[in-house]
Structures are given as C-alpha cells and as structure tokens.
Structure 1
Amino acid sequence: MRSQAIAIPRLIESRYDALSDLPRSLKAHGFKRILFLVGAGIEELFEQKMQPLLSDETLEVVGPIVLEELAVEKLTPIAYGFDEMDVILAMGGGKAIDSGKFVSFLRAVPFISIPTSISNDGFASSGASLYVNGKRKSVKALMPYGVIADLSILSTAPERFYYSGLGDVVSKITANYDWQFEVNHGIGQVDQYALLTAKKSVNSVVRLPFSYIREGLFIKEVVDSLIMSGISMEVAGHSAPASGSEHLISHAMDSIVPGKYLHGVQVGIATYIMALVQEHRVERVRTFLTDTGFFAHAKSLSISKKIVKRAIQAAPNVKPNRYTTIHLAENPKKAIELLTTDAILNDILAE
C-alpha cells in the first residue's frame, strides 16, 4: 500500500474576532519570532486588528512589510532580508496571501494566512500566482500551516469578493465531474479522499439554507468550503479536485481581458455553462447562483458574449495535457450555442 505525506493546515480559526486570540495561538504552536506581511491599502486595518499582537512583549514581530508588487524578483529580497524567523504571516487579499506563501516557501518556514476577503480558495492552497519576468505564472509555494479567518473582517469585505468566492465554491461541481471524466477516458486516477473532500466542500454550501449572503453562518461555511478545497488539491497533488473545464475558460478569459473581472466571477459563469454541457447538477448550480444574487451581480458587469465565446474556443488549449469535457470536440460548439439559447446566459451577458 502506497503512503504519502501531505501538508494540511494545523491551525484553523474561522469565527468572529479570531484575531484577538492570535498571540495565544502563535505561542501555543511554538512561534515567537514573526515576520508580518500585509497587502497594500490595509495598513489601517492592520493597526486596528493587530494591537494585541504588536503589544505582546513575549513575541518578536518584524513588520508590517507592505507588499506593493507580485513580482518574484521583488519578493526574493524580502524573503532573504531578515534573520531567522519562526513563522511568516500575511494579511490581505489574494495578492498578499500568494506573496506570503512564496516568501515562506523560499525561507522554508511555516506560513499563516489571514485573508481579508474570500474571493477564491487561494488563501488555503499551496499554489501562488505571481509575475516572473513580467508574465503572470503559477509558481510553487507553501501550503499554509494556519488559516485565521476573522469573520468580523470578512463580513465587511466588498460584495464583489463574496460573489467571486461563491463562483469558486460552486465550480467544484463541474470540476469533480471533469476529473472523473478524465479517468473514464484513461487519463490519471481519482484520489477518492481528495474527491470526497472536494465534494463535501461544495455541498456544505450549496445545500445550506440562508436568507442573506452576509449571514455569519453562511460566511463561515464559505470559508470552510474554500479551506477544504485547498486541502483536496494538496491531497491529490494537483488541481483537478477544484479546477476543471470551467477554470480553463476563466484562464482563457484572463488572456483576453487580463484583470478585468474577478477570477471567481468568471469561474461561476463558466461553471453554469459547463454544467449545462455536462448535463450534471444543472438545477443545483442554477438555483444557487440565482438565489445568492450571483447572476444579478454578473449581469451588472456587462461581460460580452464575444469575450466568453473566444474564451470557450481557447479553453481546450490552455492545458492540452488535460482531457475535460471542454476538450471533447463537439463541446465548445455546444457551450457557445448556449450563450444565446439559454435564457439566463442570454440575460446576464452583454451583446
């Protein structure tokens, strides 16, 4: 029987005012010397929330160091510019978290993620998207040792980040289908524990009764879902449990209109398209994206059908080593036809 070592978070706090206990948590895990990185624009929030940490004389805190750029060339000097540290913390959005994971990877010290928004599962995964020689690339980083999700912060994040996170959550439905689809066509194998974790991550949210997406319980379930998604990829050793044809369409959109729309919003729209193509859990996806207000938000962005069409056409070439449902010869055409024949897509996408 083959065994494998996997890195999963050992410290997970997902509740209101979680940061108030940060000094105690750090000391309980044996961390004394701390390098603190923060995303640009949240310095005031850092000062407000980190006073218990900064005033604890038993801890040695270096920082905060404000992260201005995502370039590997800028992050490397930060990684090696300080004496030995026990742990590196990063507070902010996806850019700050990805930067922190990479700096921790370079220094080979534990990393603790403190997200200020939940726009995707990056705050709980080992991957990082950074600029290398001016080009955005996925680079190796460190799986977080800990995730501190303070709901009092996340509940006040701009709504667009919520919708992005919801799009990333629901995408596991089509991604899981694609993973099994690949295996059925003789490519790779499914790690059943990783698949179970990924399925639980999405079902815990899409089956949850709610009346408002800023409800405490709903936010907590979304956070926990994204953490489980990150863990499922770590268990599998690749991104298939959380990324399928819907992500390929989103990646293609990134190359067409770089940075114009949030990743999770693109993924959410593509998930609905691919659920229709797969004929898999369509009603569940449709109901969730309607009831949460995701579709209404997507409509407000006036995303062009032409852009989505181009992204669908380009998607199979984004990762030619994979074989998802969008790689099947007839499916890009089916997906494109849906842009005008499906009532919801026809409504939310601009001409």
Structure 2
Amino acid sequence: MPLLARMITTPVVVDIRENALAGLRDLLADQRISTGGRVALAVGPRSGARIAADLAPSLRDADVYIVESGTVDAALTLAAQARGTSYDAIVGIGGGRVLDVTKFAAARLGLPMVAVATNLAHDGIGSPVSILDNDAGRGSYGVPAPIAVVVDLTVIRRAPARSIRAGIGEVVSNLSAIADWELARDLRGEAYDGLAVTLARTAAEAVLHHPGSVDDDGFLRVLAEGLVLSGIAMVVAGTSRPCSGACHEISHALDLLYAGRAGYHGEQVGVGAAFASTLWDDPESRERGRRIAECLARHGLPVAPEHLGFTLEEFAAAVVRAPETRPGRFTILEHRDLDKDAVMEAVRSYARNIGAG
C-alpha cells in the first residue's frame, strides 16, 4: 500500500527557552547552518545592537549590520551590504521590522535566515512573509521562512510590555482569518488546507484560553509557540490565508490612511478581528467575536477604535478601504459588501456593544 505524504518546509530548529542566545553559536554549528560562525548579523539600532555585542566573543567571524527602518529600501540596502562576502547565513536579531527586512534580504541573496526575536509583537518570527513599507504605503512580500527560530525568554522579558501584548492580538486574530477562509471555500470554491487551519487554530486557542499574563513565563512560552505555529501554518498553506483575513485588511487600511498614527500591527488586527466577527449573522461567529474581545480586554489590549487612537468615523473609513488592500482576497468584508453608511452603523453598533461608543 503506498504511503501518501507531503513534504513541508519548517525550521530545522525552534529554540524557545531561558538564555537561548547563549547557545546560538552551538545551534548554528550543530545544525550545519554555519559551522564556523561566518554569518551576517542584522540588528536594530537599540536592543539588537546590544545583543550583537554580547554575542561578539562567541561569533568572532560575524559582521554586524544595522537595520534602521522596516522598508523595502532598508532590505535592499542590507542585501547590497552583505553581497560579495561569503556568509553561511544571515541572522536577524530584533523585532518584527528587523526580522522582515532580514528575511527579504536573505531571499535576495539566496542565503538561509535565522530569526532571533527580541519581542513577541507579531508572527513574523517564523512566517514566509515580510511586511515592508514602500512608496505606496505598506506591502506583503513572499519570502522563504526562517531556517531556525530562537526566542530567548530572558530577552523577551526586557521588551516593552505593550509590544509583547500586541502578539496576543496577532495570534487570536487567526480565528477570524480562518472563518474568512472557510467562507471563501464554501462560496467561491477557494482551495483550503485543513492542516494549516489546525496549526493556526491551535495557536489561537492556546493563547485565548491560557490563564496567565505577559508577566508569566508559562504564558510567554505559549505565546511564542503560538506565533511560530502561525508562521508554519502559512508555510503549509503556501499563503497567509490561515492567519490573515478581514482583520488584516482593516489593519493595512489603517496604515495606509493614517500613516504615522498607526499603532502595533497586533493591536490593530485584534480589534479588526473582534469587529469583523460582528458582521456575521450566526451565533457561533458572534460568540467568536465576544471571546476575542474579552481576551484583548483581559490582557489590556485595545478593543475599541478609540483605544487605537482613531475616531469611529476614521475606523469606518478604514473598513470601507480594507478590501482594496488585498485584491482578490475574499473575506466577510467582500461578502457583505456594505456601503459607507452601513459600515458606519456597524462600527457604531460594535462600539456600543463593547461599551466604548
């Protein structure tokens, strides 16, 4: 009887623990990523640079490059700087911007990329996507997923609490994205991947139901694992579908319309997921939105547009604009196809129901 299987590209190692950075050189050598430590270290101007300095004694042959911004230009600059040197890999050390820039640059150079996360703000740690600013606003770029992921919980605890909490919104928004994907499957016949959904849903439910907080090491580990699982779900699906739906469309629209005012991506997609769930007619979807909103509130995350710094009118304008940010993607927003007045009423109703309008 034939054994039917599929090959899935995943990180060769995921190391989430206390003091994980101390073992980075051994990880690179043991996994044959770089036996001699000849790597490029891409770091942010603050915490990443300090970490690179700490690693210098064990990675003496590494070169350090500073990533100043999360733009396409920054990624191209990093690729140009590293080109011409025989590196075994590029190691990105920092938050989402640094990791996204490093993934893009690694793809340009054809080098494996190792992600070392210094906060847990979004699922870019293990995803095959780079979110980068460009001349038109902000875009999503497909790239190879990291070959290894390192999360040092000692370092994570030093990150701003707000940046860690933002990751909660990122992970629990998977539930809204999955519902959108199922809708597209049922109404449009879109290809759907049950394994990718299983990974994304498991990540979201684990974070949603964990009783701890960002002050709890156990919760931080579950959150980090959830972000990594979300990234692997996108690798499995070959698309961001299991983790990106109406919630992300709304967030992208906020970025485009109100450049310079947008907050953490995870905060925005969390509110987007809670709001989008109210556009469904069935009780199950309404309950999903309630659970997401309660989780956000419990962890001190924004729940209402005002908590993000936007008026109801501004948020409604973003909801109207949202479908344009991902042409061809079908979500509850495209299905309902509400006009401006209907969207405004839906936003007002949402704000009233959560006691913020």
- Aligned with 1:258: secondary structure? coil
Unaligned segments of structure 1, at least 5 residues: none
> Cα deviation per residue 1:40-84 (whole Å; 9 max; x = unaligned)?
22255225642xxx223xx553222111243144233123142x2
Structure 2: distance between partners of 1:296 and 1:181 = 24
- Aligned with 1:22: secondary structure? helix
- Aligned with 1:198: secondary structure? helix
Q: What residue in structure 2 maps to residue 270 of structure 1?
A: 272
Q: What residue in structure 2 maps to residue 302 of structure 1?
A: 309
Structure 2: distance between partners of 1:298 and 1:316 = 18
Q: What residue in structure 2 maps to residue 65 of structure 1?
A: 65
2:331 to 304, 310, 324: 324
Identity %: 26
1:46 matched to 2:54: no
Structure 2: distance between partners of 1:124 and 1:284 = 26
- Conservation of the 8 A alpha-carbon contact between 1:34 and 1:60: no
- Conservation of the 8 A alpha-carbon contact between 2:39 and 2:62: yes
Paired AA for residue 223 in structure 1: A
1:226 shift after superposition: 0.7
Q: What residue in structure 2 maps to residue 121 of structure 1?
A: 123
Paired AA for residue 142 in structure 2: K
2:298 to 284, 287, 291: 291
- Runs of 4+ residues deviating >6 angstroms: none
- Aligned with 2:61: secondary structure? strand
- 5 Å matches for 1:178-197? 178-197=180-199
Structure 2: distance between partners of 1:188 and 1:337 = 30
1:182 shift after superposition: 0.2
1:136 to 135, 138, 162: 138
Paired AA for residue 77 in structure 1: A
- 5 Å matches for 1:31-180? 31=34, 32=36, 33-42=38-47, 45-47=50-52, 49-50=54-55, 54-56=56-58, 61-69=61-69, 70=71, 71=73, 72-82=75-85, 84-132=86-134, 136-180=138-182
Structure 1 residues 135 and 268: alpha-carbon distance in aligned structure 2, compared to 1, 3 A threshold: closer
- Conservation of the 8 A alpha-carbon contact between 1:325 and 1:331: no
Number of residues of Structure 1 aligned to a counterpart in Structure 2: 342
Structure 2: distance between partners of 1:193 and 1:86 = 32
- Aligned with 1:112: secondary structure? strand
Q: What residue in structure 2 maps to residue 252 of structure 1?
A: 253
- Conservation of the 8 A alpha-carbon contact between 2:113 and 2:148: yes
Structure 1: distance between partners of 2:182 and 2:222 = 25
Name the TM-score, length of structure 2 as normaliser.
0.88
1:5 shift after superposition: 4.1
Structure 1 residues 47 and 182: alpha-carbon distance in aligned structure 2, compared to 1, 3 A threshold: closer
Structure 1 residues 334 and 277: alpha-carbon distance in aligned structure 2, compared to 1, 3 A threshold: farther
Report the RMSD for the aligned CA atoms in angstroms.
2.4
Task: After superposing the two structures, state which structure 1 stretch, 297-306 or 195-204, moved more.
Answer: 297-306
Unaligned segments of structure 2, at least 5 residues: none
- Aligned with 1:180: secondary structure? helix
- Conservation of the 8 A alpha-carbon contact between 1:302 and 1:348: no
- Conservation of the 8 A alpha-carbon contact between 2:42 and 2:66: yes
Structure 2: distance between partners of 1:289 and 1:346 = 12
Structure 1 residues 269 and 297: alpha-carbon distance in aligned structure 2, compared to 1, 3 A threshold: closer
1:342 matched to 2:350: yes
> Cα deviation per residue 1:257-297 (whole Å; 9 max; x = unaligned)?
12422211111111110112225113321221121111379
Name the TM-score, length of structure 1 as normaliser.
0.89
Structure 2: distance between partners of 1:298 and 1:305 = 6
Structure 1: distance between partners of 2:135 and 2:252 = 19
